Structure 1
Amino acid sequence: MVDDTPPNELVRLWRLPIGPRLGRPAGLDVDLVVRTAVQLADRDGLSGATLPKIAETLGVTPMSLYRHIGSKEELLVLMNDAAIGPAPTFPAPVNDWCPALREWAVSLWSAHRQRPWLTQLPIAGPPSGPGAIGWMDAGLRALRGTGLDAGAKVGVVTVVSGYVRQADLLAQQLEQGRRTTGLDETETNRDYGRHMSRLVDPVRFPDAAELFNSDLFESASPPATADPAQDDFEFGLEVILDGVAATVARAEA
């Protein structure tokens, strides 16, 4: 007989009942541990959400936390599912899937930008909690009216969400680099172009040399939005959506 009982980590992730408790209600539970961990990560970054710091904040011993989470790795999954926030709600598009998928991607980008530590979390497996499944459901809903089969829809959602995550990671690292140099984005681009134009050999790297000898980096203007990474993100998203459109067209041909 196949045992279809969910493992303990899924029981905790979905907050399933685990049977009657005897005596007084416990003052500590999964929700409190995860909520405290998220608050610490929001304040101090992911490195601030260690088990000893969570225990200290709650006034308990670190070992007592293991009655509510199975491991540090499980805690990270719980944190991600709680912190990603609700997925966007929209009706399934009848004809044009693109605006809905764009809204989904932009909403996911905003969630990551509000909590930079989300991108630092390891990917332990496919979506498995109610928060992550909610985002998956919304992404699939955007593609409901297309001719894509189930596997292709999952592939599109995976590619777009992966782009969001990587774009946020790149933006964070570039922002850290600018803070180190003290230069803004326009100054950084200008200096980069000038240095590369002197270093790049046109014989060895002809196309790169042509790029660096153009006026692209000298004429770069400040980003049009308050977030220096926003324009780059939106450009890349449109490129990906164009690719999705080609995939949908082939499926519907």
Structure 2
Amino acid sequence: MAEHEEGAEAAGAAEDTAGETGLPAGVETAWGLRVRAPRGPARGLDVPRIVEAAIAVADAEGLGAVSMGRVAKGVGVSTMALYRYVASKDDLLILMEDAAVASPSPGPPVEDGWRAGLEFWSQGIRAVYEQHPWIMRIPISTPPLSPHSVEWMELALSYLAGTGLSAEEQLGVLTLLGGYVRQQVSLSTDIQAAASADGGTWENVERRYWTLLDKLTDRERFPAITALLESGELGGQDGAEVEEEGTAFEFGLARILDGVELHMARRGEREAEGEGPGASS
């Protein structure tokens, strides 16, 4: 069955090589530049329905559960029939990500400042990843190309447009924030999965960790860890205040934005001193 599916995928991919744009078939489909003409009867079936079914599988069971055969079964057609609408699994993943990301909600006005805008952008991307964590399991092969991903990039850059940062610096800020959000949500998702597999909450897992670390370490060899443990302030320790959900994420986000703000200030100082725009720190 797997060999049959791979053969069908290869045939579909060969038939749907990149068009005049040079873009993958899935990207062209997402932008409305390519409409596959299905052969044979498949009443009520179209690309959005296929993508919706694939997202439902990924949301429920993770990206690993998504296959062309599984999605075809979900929409009630043969695997071969599915290839009449989507050229390959890679193209399906592009369409799934684009649909799940969706268009960003209107953010604060640019007049509210770049920082408010980027905080909104970061929290918005975070919400998308938390709702569809499988997105983070899709291999990154290119910068954002699908329409909704480009819309999110446009939103972020609109807040950076008046900051005086160079184009390269603006993209650097965007990459830094995007990577931070992705890493934090990925870590949080893995932690919650580990806690669920352990049959408890993350607080219980954390409490056991600190207890074990206390037994394994000593003041002479690990003085900094010992001081940390003796502070009684660690999450999961008896008597310690439970950290509000999201606090760690927002702390890190604020520190990144502090760094960007400091860079802008130093850049302004250099330009005022006559070093000219674009001088590096």
**Partners of 1:185 and 1:222 within 8 A in 2:** no
Give the residue type in structure 1 aligned to 2:220.
V
2:78 maps to 1:78:
no
1-side partners of 2:40 and 2:139: how far apart? 38
* 1:86-165 to 2 correspondences below 5 Å: 86-90=103-107, 93-94=110-111, 96-165=113-182
| Distance of aligned partners of 1:84 and 1:183 in 2 relative to their CA distance in 1, 3 Å threshold | same
**Partners of 2:217 and 2:226 within 8 A in 1:** yes
**Partners of 2:108 and 2:120 within 8 A in 1:** no
Report what 1:200 is aligned to.
Answer: 217
1-side partners of 2:38 and 2:95: how far apart? 23
2-side partners of 1:113 and 1:19: how far apart? 32
Give the CA deviation at 1:20. 8.9
1-side partners of 2:39 and 2:190: how far apart? 50
Task: State the TM-score, normalized to the length of structure 1.
Answer: 0.85
**Partners of 1:109 and 1:165 within 8 A in 2:** yes
Aligned residues: 247
Report what 1:251 is aligned to.
Answer: 267
Report what 1:182 is aligned to.
Answer: 199
Give the CA deviation at 1:112. 1.2
Structure 1 residues 173-209: Cα deviation after superposition (integer angstroms, max 9, x where no partner)? 1112222333434433333222212212333333223
Report what 1:221 is aligned to.
Answer: 241
2-side partners of 1:95 and 1:27: how far apart? 46
**Partners of 2:107 and 2:120 within 8 A in 1:** no
1-side partners of 2:71 and 2:189: how far apart? 26
Q: CA RMSD in A?
A: 2.7
Stretches of structure 1 that go unaligned for 5 or more consecutive residues are none
Match 1:56 to one of 59, 73, 76: 73
**Partners of 1:201 and 1:209 within 8 A in 2:** yes
Give the residue type in structure 1 aligned to 2:51.
V
- Pick 1 or 2: higher relative contact order, CA cutoff 8 A, min separation 6: 1
Report what 2:64 is aligned to.
Answer: 47
Give the CA deviation at 1:31. 2.4
Task: State the TM-score, normalized to the length of structure 2.
Answer: 0.77
1-side partners of 2:94 and 2:38: how far apart? 25
| Distance of aligned partners of 1:183 and 1:36 in 2 relative to their CA distance in 1, 3 Å threshold | closer
**Partners of 2:233 and 2:241 within 8 A in 1:** no
2-side partners of 1:75 and 1:175: how far apart? 28
Match 2:55 to one of 28, 38, 62: 38
Moved over 4 A (4+): 17-27
Give the CA deviation at 1:58. 1.8
Structure 1 residues 114-168: Cα deviation after superposition (integer angstroms, max 9, x where no partner)? 1222222221211001010011111111212211111111111111111111111
2-side partners of 1:36 and 1:210: how far apart? 52
**Partners of 2:136 and 2:186 within 8 A in 1:** yes
